[in-house]
């Protein structure tokens, strides 16, 4: 009974829409005042399998999700190691490292659009180049990935930093006695100790990144010619631009299943190696 007040909002705002969304995936719901909805079984899923545009967008989503997560992790690890050193003004540096976290994705997107602006942008000004970063067919995706890495760094850094601080000092002392250098200390002590934190944060980051929407929507709206159309943007367009609600819901369900599968495989392997 005491659980009830906590449960009601969860049921109404989270479980309810989720179940509704899953149900919607099995219908031909369309936008329209007089649209009739009927149950179509697995038809949407069959259509999905043969939808080349979706798989193209899925491929882009995977490239995006994996590269952002990996780069984010490497950059954050470097930053966390640095911030873990006994530097002057360490406090200030740590605060600065967290600042991007305070920015909503839309603001980040707008800011980086100015950085990438072909005429007035910081980047072209700096290099004296004349590149339209966000509208070039081959550069748009890398350019967006850079922004993705930048945005996600704070939380990854903070988590890794916390992990680093919980590594027992004695371990370092012990290997130092054995005459280990900085690299060996990192490889044999820091990394194994950090492992659970790394697994947790990379999997969370991956889920977060593959479901990214607002950042890319603001930066490129999926363009040019669909080169940055992540699966979520694709689903959004199907639903709100073209009005195929049922199919869009199917996309949402399919993406969730795939993400869970990828994540499950990753966690399972990590758990096995950890044993």
Partner 1 sequence: MKRLSAALAVAAVALAAGCGSGGGDGGGDAASGEPVKLRFLSLAWQKESIEANKQIVADWNTANPKIQVEYVQGSWDNVNDQLVTSFEAGDPPDVIHDDSPALSSFASRGFLLDLTGKIPAELNGDIPQAAWDTVTFSDGKSGQGVYGVPFLQESQVLIANKKLLDGAGVRVPTPDSPWTWDEFADAAGKLTKKGAYGVAWPMKSPVNKVLNLALNFGGTFFDTQGGKTTVKVGPQEREVLQRIHDQLYTDRSADPSALGMGTADPLPGFFAGKYAIVPAGVYLRQQVAEQAPSGFEWVTLPPLKGQTSQQGAVSQTLSVAADSKHPDEALKFIAYFLNGPNQAKLAKGDWLLPTSTTAAKDPALTTKENGWDVATASAKDLVVAPFLKVNGFDEWKSKVATPAMQEYFADKISLDELAKRLVEDGNKVLERYSR
Does position 100 interact with partner 1 (CB under 8 A)? The reply is no
- Residue 218, classed as helix, strand or coil, is helix
Residue identified by tokens 């950890």 is 274
202 Cβ contact list (under 8 Å, min separation 6): 69, 73
Does position 114 interact with partner 1 (CB under 8 A)? The reply is no
Does position 185 interact with partner 1 (CB under 8 A)? The reply is no
User: In whole angstroms, how far apart are CA 178 and each of 133, 173, 181, 185, 244?
Assistant: 51, 9, 9, 10, 65
CB of residue 199 to partner 1, shortest distance in Å: 17
Token reading at 80: 């966390």
* Geometric angle at alpha carbon 61, from 25 and 226, rounded to 5°: 90
| Sites for partner 1 among residues 40-69 (CB under 8 A) | 53
Does position 33 interact with partner 1 (CB under 8 A)? The reply is yes
Residue identified by tokens 């609600």 is 245
Phi and psi for 185 in degrees, rounded to 5? -60, -45
| Sites for partner 1 among residues 125-184 (CB under 8 A) | 132, 135-137
Binding mask 232-261 for partner 1 (x = CB under 8 A): x--xxx-xxxxxxx--xx-xxx-xx--x--
List the one residue from 36, 86, 119, 170 that touches partner 1 (CB under 8 A).
119
Interaxial angle between packed helices 191-210 and 140-165, expressed in degrees from 0 to 180 and rounded to the nearest 10: 140
CB of residue 20 to partner 1, shortest distance in Å: 4
Q: What is the C-alpha to C-alpha distance for residues 70 and 157, in angstroms, rounded to an integer?
A: 13
Q: Considering beta carbons, is residue 20 or 187 the nearer one to partner 1?
A: 20
Does position 24 interact with partner 1 (CB under 8 A)? The reply is yes
Q: Which stretch binds partner 1 (CB under 8 A): 58-66, 87-95, 186-194, 225-233?
A: 225-233
User: In whole angstroms, how far apart are CA 199 and each of 33, 52, 93, 126, 173?
Assistant: 48, 33, 26, 37, 26
Q: Which stretch binds partner 1 (CB under 8 A): 16-24, 62-70, 152-160, 193-201?
A: 16-24
List the one residue from 8, 20, 90, 106 that touches partner 1 (CB under 8 A).
20
For partner 1, the binding residues (CB under 8 A) are 16-18, 20-22, 24-25, 29-35, 53, 118-119, 132, 135-137, 207-208, 211, 213, 224-226, 232, 235-237, 239-245, 248-249, 251-253, 255-256, 259
């Amino acid at each position: 009974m005491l659980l009830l007040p906590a449960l009601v909002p969860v049921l109404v705002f989270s479980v309810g829409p989720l179940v509704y969304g899953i149900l919607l995936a099995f219908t031909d719901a369309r936008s329209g005042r007089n649209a009739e909805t009927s149950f179509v079984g697995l038809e949407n899923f069959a259509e999905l399998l043969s939808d080349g545009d979706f798989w193209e967008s899925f491929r882009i989503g995977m490239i995006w999700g994996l590269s952002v997560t990996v780069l984010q992790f490497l950059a954050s690890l470097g930053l966390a190691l640095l911030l873990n050193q006994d530097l002057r003004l360490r406090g200030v540096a740590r605060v600065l490292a967290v600042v991007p976290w305070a920015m909503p994705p839309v603001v980040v997107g707008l800011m980086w659009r100015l950085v990438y602006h072909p005429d007035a942008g910081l980047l072209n000004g700096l290099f004296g180049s004349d590149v339209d970063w966000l509208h070039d067919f081959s550069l748009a995706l890398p350019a967006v990935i850079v922004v993705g890495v930048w945005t996600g760094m704070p939380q990854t850094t903070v988590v890794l930093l916390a992990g680093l601080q919980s590594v027992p000092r004695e371990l370092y002392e012990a290997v130092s006695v054995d005459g280990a250098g900085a690299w060996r200390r990192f490889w044999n002590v820091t990394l194994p100790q950090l492992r659970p934190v790394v697994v947790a944060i990379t999997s969370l980051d991956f889920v977060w990144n593959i479901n990214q929407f607002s950042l890319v929507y603001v930066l490129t709206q999926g363009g040019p010619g669909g080169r940055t159309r992540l699966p979520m943007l694709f689903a959004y367009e199907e639903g709100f631009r073209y009005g195929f609600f049922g199919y869009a819901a199917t996309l949402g369900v399919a993406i969730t299943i795939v993400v869970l599968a990828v994540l499950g495989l990753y966690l399972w392997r990590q758990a096995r190696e950890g044993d």
